[in-house]
Structure 1
Amino acid sequence: MSFGELQKEVLAQLERDFSNFKKTGQARRTSNYLKTRMELLEQNLENAKRYHEEIVSGGKLEENFKKEDMIAVFDQIRAIYLEYRTEMMDGLDKLSPSAPLTPTVGAPPSTGLPSATHQSQPNVLKLPPIKPPTFSGSYTSWRSYHDIFTSLVHNNPGLNEIQKMHFLKESLTGDAERLLHHLDLSSGNYAKAWDLLKERYDHKRVLVNSYLKVFFGQPVQSKESAESLKSLLDTTIEVVHALENLGLPVKDWDTILIYILFQKLSAKTQQLWEEKLGNNKELPTFADFTDFLKSRFRTLEAIVQQASCTTQPKPVTKSPVTAKTFHAKTQKQQFKTQYQCQICKKGQHSLMKCYRFLNMDAVQKQQAVQQAGVCENCLLTATKLVFV
């Protein structure tokens, strides 16, 4: 078999082993089971490395195998190896958390990122994993992202190129992610991807303009508020430090910064600042101005806190309830019923007491009832109630 066929056989074997491992129940994943699988995994990787070296150095390849394709196969092998080995190490850590394995180059340790040295230290607090920062394409976030990612990933000797590429793509969102969307997860693309990001976002003039836009875009404080003062101060300090890190002579801008920020303050705070300066003819420093803002927003916070402690809720005033007296009456005391006779039209009595109705025969009575529109059952018609 050629080296190309052998390399593809290793890839197929790793894919089958990893697939079977995922199907294995937790009860079967004992320490010996995981260690045996890890030894087999390391053996497969060593074989893949040996075949890869032969292919790169011009070893025997069949006509249907290209060197570029075989390099991509090796990248796939390493990606499966990393994911497979990481899951097995996590399983071993769960079985014996007090004695974690010492990771090798290419295997992520418990901190989330591989390192060149990683020693087991019993009785030491286990810190949560350190994750690379995220970057969405905002120019004002680039320097912070660049410095942290460079320290954790780019300059980490325990990471190979494909691992760095993995962490790079995982840390990007928005416009930054779309910039590298066309680059696949392979070792040869990491340097290209990192250079693309730096070319796009590591632009000093654009970065300075972005920070200045944030600084000048802060709103004017029409209303006295501790929160608005803190926001003004925090944003200003962040911008000043960022511009200073970019090499601008910010230390010589005290008078300009104070003048611009003074225009953002409320009328009351402007008055207090002028009263603080008094008759002093010397120019105040930026540190003097920031100290004044700190003192001012602390005063406002104290006033609000004191007001909330001294303000007592108003008692709820209930309107007096006027007692109502109810008098019960019997039906005879409350009202009396008056009937208007619909037959004789001469008296206020029921049909049962109408002499004219009583003298009729049965047929005449039925006709009279229907014509009068009274009830055929009770022989009553509309009732008039008279209250007494």
Structure 2
Amino acid sequence: MSGDLKDLKSQQRQIRSTFDGVKQFIQKFKREKYESQIETRLEMLEAAMKKLYSVRRKMDILLEEGDEKDSADSKEAPESLQARLTMLAEKRDAESVAIIQTAEDNYCELKSALQLLVAKPVGETLIQQPPALAPAVQGASSKVKLPEIKLPTFGGRIREWVTFRDMFQSLIHRNDQLTDIEKFTYLRSSLVGEALQEIGTIEISAANYRIAWDLLQKRFENKKLIVKAHLDALFAEEPIKRESYDALSHPISEYDRNLQMLNKIGEDTSNWGTILVYMICCRLDSATLRHWESHHSSKEVPTYDELIEFLRNQCSVLQSIAPTKHQLDIRRSNQCNLMVVVHFVEMVCTQHLNVNGS
């Protein structure tokens, strides 16, 4: 019997090793490398859980048989022997139940995480529409494909934290129809670089989701640094060297985006107009600045909105007169043809000079 029990304990250790292997697979998952293994890992997990039930039943039977054999050889008083055997049986039952419950908890978490990897391309952070965002009533046999929602990706840039935080909370964190293990899986799939390293050592489990989210908030929820990052972006705008649609549209978008974020986190920028107009005008190319001064001939101090409206109109003008791809292709073709002609003329002239010289 001791040999059989030893073998069953060895099988139980192998099952635990299988569970650990699946957990490591999820933590290190990279879709481009391991996507084909997901179904196999699911099958391994199912087989390991079924085997554990069988192994625990056999172990319980062997241990009970061992107790009966010991009691037959024992010289204890019947009352004392019965009390001892009852206590052993209760202790063994409690241990067996604890082992099974722990295994079932791990099994459910791991299976849920694997199924998420099957259903959603986590590496690309694309998910199906979360249940809370789906229509309230939807037939079970509906075959309508819901639109995909792209989760935000956050790599640790403090200027991007507020946007990531608000969108993730709206789609995932406050979604009561998602379990914490699903939320944790979505969270890890949305992080890269420094942000992922911040929670990289935390094991994927339902209990650890709140810990991971609180850790990210503690690390990146810093209003002083967020404000500084947006101001740095405003002051870092490069001067425009030449009038063009691309060169002019970029600062307009950057100023609008950063000012909106500053207002969103509680910074009132409504009285910043004079300094903003000065900052933008200092970065305009000479042609655009000349157009602006001609446009705003008043002696009053221009507002930020007036300047931005003028620049948007300039962008529209520049976009409308910009050459099309077809025109650019024709221009390049003409230039090539001209170069060929010039080269041919040079070659003829050189030959003519050589002939005359000889």
Could you state the TM-score of these two structures normalised by the residue count of structure 1?
0.56
Equivalent of 1:300, from 318, 323, 328? 318
| Cα distance in 2, alignment partners of residues 21 and 200 from structure 1 | 35
Offset, 1:283: 2.5
Of 111, 116, 131, the residue aligned with 2:128 is: 111
Q: Is the 8 A contact 1:75 1:187 kept in 2?
A: no
Contact in 1 for aligned 2:113/2:181 (Cα 8 Å):
no
The answer as to whether partners of 1:169 and 1:177 remain within 8 angstroms in 2 is yes
Answer with 201-210 or 73-82: which moved more: 73-82
- Matched residue of 2:257: which SS? helix
Q: Give the superposition deviation at 1:127.
A: 3.1
One-letter amino acid of the structure 1 residue matched with residue 279 of structure 2: I
What are the residue-to-residue correspondences of 1:42-121 with 2, within 5 Å? 62=92, 65=95, 73-82=103-112, 111=128, 113-115=130-132, 119-120=138-139
Cα distance between partner residues in 2 of 1:239 and 1:22: 49
**Inter-partner Cα distance in structure 2 for 1:111 and 1:308:** 40
Question: 1:282 maps to which residue?
Answer: 300
1:157 corresponds, among 176, 180, 188, to 176
Contact kept in structure 1, 2:109 and 2:206, CA below 8 Å: no
Which structure carries more helix by proportion? 2
Residues in 1 aligned to 2:99 and 2:151: alpha-carbon distance in whole angstroms: 31
Write the distance in 1 (CA, Å) between the matches of 2:101 and 2:234: 50
* Aligned-partner residue type, residue 186 of structure 2: F
Partner of 1:166: 185
CA offsets, 1:159-211, max 9 Å, x none?
12222112111211111111111211111111111111111111111000001
Higher RCO (CA < 8 A, seq sep 6+)? 2
1:337-388 Cα offsets, whole Å, 9 max, x none, are: xxxxxxxxxxxxxxxxxxxxxxxxxxxxxxxxxxxxxxxxxxxxxxxxxxxx
Counterpart pick for 2:244 among 225, 233, 238: 225
- Residues 337-348 of structure 1 mapped to structure 2, 5 A cutoff: none
Aligned to 1:140: 159
State, as a whole percentage, how many aligned pairs show the same letter: 24
Paired residues of 1:75 and 1:162 also in contact (CA < 8 A)? no
* TM-score, normalised by the number of residues in structure 2: 0.60
Q: Letter of the aligned partner of 1:305 in structure 2?
A: P
Larger Rg: 1
CA RMSD of aligned residues (A): 4.2
Deviation, structure 1 residue 221? 1.5
Give the one of 264, 267, 275 matched to 1:256: 275
Give the counterpart letter for 1:264 in structure 2: R
Q: 1:83 to 1:142 in 2, by over 3 A?
A: closer
Distance 2:231 2:313 in 1: 26
CA distance in 2, matches of 1:221, 1:169: 40
**Which secondary structure does the structure 2 equivalent of 1:130 belong to?**
strand
Structure-2 separation of matches of 1:258 and 1:20: 60
> How much does 1:141 deviate?
1.1
2:116–2:182 contact (8 Å) kept in structure 1: no
Opposite residue 247 of structure 1, the aligned amino acid is G
Distance 1:179 1:67 in 2: 36
* Distance verdict in 2 for CA 1:132–1:226, change over 3 Å: closer
